[in-house]
Structure 1
Amino acid sequence: MERVQLAEDLSFSRIIHGLWRLAEWEYSNEETLSLIEHCLEQGITTFDHADIYGSYTCEELFGKAMALKPELRENMEIVTKCGIVLESPNRPEHRSHHYNTSKEHIIKSAEQSLKNLRTDYIDVLLIHRPDPLMNPEEVAEAFMKLKKEGKVRYFGVSNFKDHQFNMLQSYLDFDLVTNQIEVSAYHLENFDDGTLHFCLEKRIKPMAWSPLAGGKIFSSNDEKAVRLRSTLEKIAGEIGAEDLDEVLYAWILKHPAKIMPIVGSGKTKRIDSAVKSLDHKLTLDQWFEILHSSMGHEVP
């Protein structure tokens, strides 16, 4: 498995496994452990979480599975996120859906994640969404405290635009190592608005959530999805791909920003398709044909 270097002593697997829907899969602890082991066997060592996933349950489910074989921890990188507050029966003190990037909340959330995941440290902690009330001095203080105490090794952000990234970075004396953003052949916002160019400028290696557009490309009957399916089927035949998702991942992987797609499936077949995509090298003609299908017209 290809590795992506984020810092001197931190690298991620090029394909990342996401646990957003872990609670929905209704796996036993043993089944979850088996899925984790399958990912590791395929070279996927990076696992993506957030405190809110599964209404604040997914981290704990992962931790219970890891407790069956705790020695696996040294073979993986764990990413988690904080900053979104949701109403949930698992958090009865929460009164509304909002953002909270206060020093107190970040530290409390990170420490709860450590307990849930049954680990002594988090490899990378991300601020989940830009907060209009973010006080960057408080965020920096929280990050420094967690780093000094060895609870979090590195920090990053999610869904930040360049000005938001630069603002937070200016308050830190160490580098933010990643930005987790939405990237797919269907969703081109971060291509169009310069976010990926900013990643290249700053040498930031981005993680990509929803690289298959939440399945919309496969199921929707809107014009864009229909165009894309037709093109993907054609190119799948040209490169010998068994599934369309292999083509979609290969399209993302070709970008020079070293985008790391997050596979949010609990099915080993879907995970294996993502891994297979590393062997597919799209030509420029094929890459732009997919882009044109998404845009509905050719580049100028």
Structure 2
Amino acid sequence: MPTQAPPDHAFEMSPVVAGLWRIADWELDVPARVRWIEQALELGITSFDHADIYGDYRAESLFGEALQHAPALRRRMQLVTKCGIRLRSAQRPYRLNHYDASADYVRAQVEQSLRNLRTEQLDLVLIHRPDYLMDATVLADTFASLTREGKVARWGVSNHTTGQFALLHAHHPLVTNQLELSPLHMQALDDGTLDQAQQLGLRPMIWSPLGGGRLFAGDDPQALRVRGEMEAIAARLGISLTTLAFAWILRHPSRPHPITGSGRIERLREAVAALDVTLEAEDWYAIWTASKGHPVP
């Protein structure tokens, strides 16, 4: 049976969010998935980030099976998911990948996510990528309807420009924009999206804070420069490279929520450790300089 979400007024994401896009690769049985969730909660990670397409449309169901096995866990967490990408797969033989933020598709995917996650309400749903054919008025009406029906508590977007965010936010209140940011990918620092988040007082969510693993294994010039600089700083501070990367993101005044991507509890522990680290501005800019390959102008 579906389990009830926490009361709407209690919605608040944890400072660090657990990302589930790789859960299908972790090869955990149901009891192991339950234990993983319990360990994340013990670390203070109460927010779990999904998308309908993750794991070839299987990730939500894998997590939902764990909640069905241990339904009391649901009231201790916030469930975040995304929709709006039609991804080709064996189950969905679209002619090509494309975006779809139409009313019918968003409603259908929200209702499927509710079934997959074995819950009666989703705490936060994001439009995964900007749909160039989006009608903001129609989509806002869909948001309002699904909220009135008690199916979604909050709405946001992912990977939207400032203009795209402002357009939809003008029609229906949004609570976040999920963006890519890492010491190896700093576009959000200059494209206005983090400035907009600060202006509106809406904390962004951050995906790929470790550069998709490139921070550890990349052999291109940028990765080598950044890793060398960060290893020196991490050694001086007595923290891991993972902790430093999360601390670099958390140092931004928009108060971002970085998202982990690992099934290893130790990685989650290292991410949470960043909450106790405050980087000096010179260290933050030393990493920026290594990434850019030149000093500040």
Q: Same fold (TM over 0.5)?
A: yes
1:284 aligns with 2:281: yes
**Match status 1:86 vs 2:87:** yes
Aligned residue in 2 for 1:162: 162
Distance 1:234 1:279 in 2: 19
Q: Distance in 2 between matches of 1:12 and 1:143?
A: 20
Which residue of 1 is the match for residue 125 of structure 2?
125
Map 1:108-257 to 2 at 5 A: 108-172=108-172, 175-241=173-239, 243-257=240-254
* Structure 2 match to 1:28: 29
Structure 1, 27-36 or 103-112: larger mean CA deviation: 27-36
2:4 aligned residue: none
**Number of residues of Structure 1 aligned to a counterpart in Structure 2:** 290
Look up the equivalent residue of 2:28 and give its one-letter code.
Y
Q: CA deviation at 1:8?
A: 6.1
- Worse-matched range after superposition: 280-289 or 105-114: 280-289
Determine the structure 1 residue equivalent to 2:261. Answer: 264
**Unaligned residue ranges in structure 1 (runs of 5+):** 1-6
* 1:60 pairs with 2:61: yes
Query: CA RMSD, aligned part only?
Result: 1.1
Partner residue in 2 for 1:103: 103
Alignment map for 1:36-51 (pairs within 5 Å) = 36-51=37-52
AA of the residue aligned to 1:46: S
Instruction: Give 2:293's match in structure 1, choosing from 269, 293, 296.
Output: 296
TM-score, L = length of structure 1: 0.95
Secondary structure in structure 2 of the residue aligned to 1:154: strand
Q: How far did 1:79 drift?
A: 0.3
Q: Secondary structure at the match of 1:170?
A: helix
What amino acid is aligned across from residue 110 of structure 2 in structure 1? A
Aligned to 2:5: none
Q: Which runs of 5+ in 2 are unaligned?
A: 1-7
Question: In 2, distance between residues paired with 1:62 and 1:269?
Answer: 20
- Residue 185 of structure 2 aligns to which amino acid in structure 1? H
What letter matches 1:21 in structure 2? R
SS of corresponding position for 2:155: strand
Shift of 1:9: 4.0
Q: Partners of 1:106 and 1:142 in 2: how far apart?
A: 8
**How far 1:238 sits from its partner (Å)?**
1.4
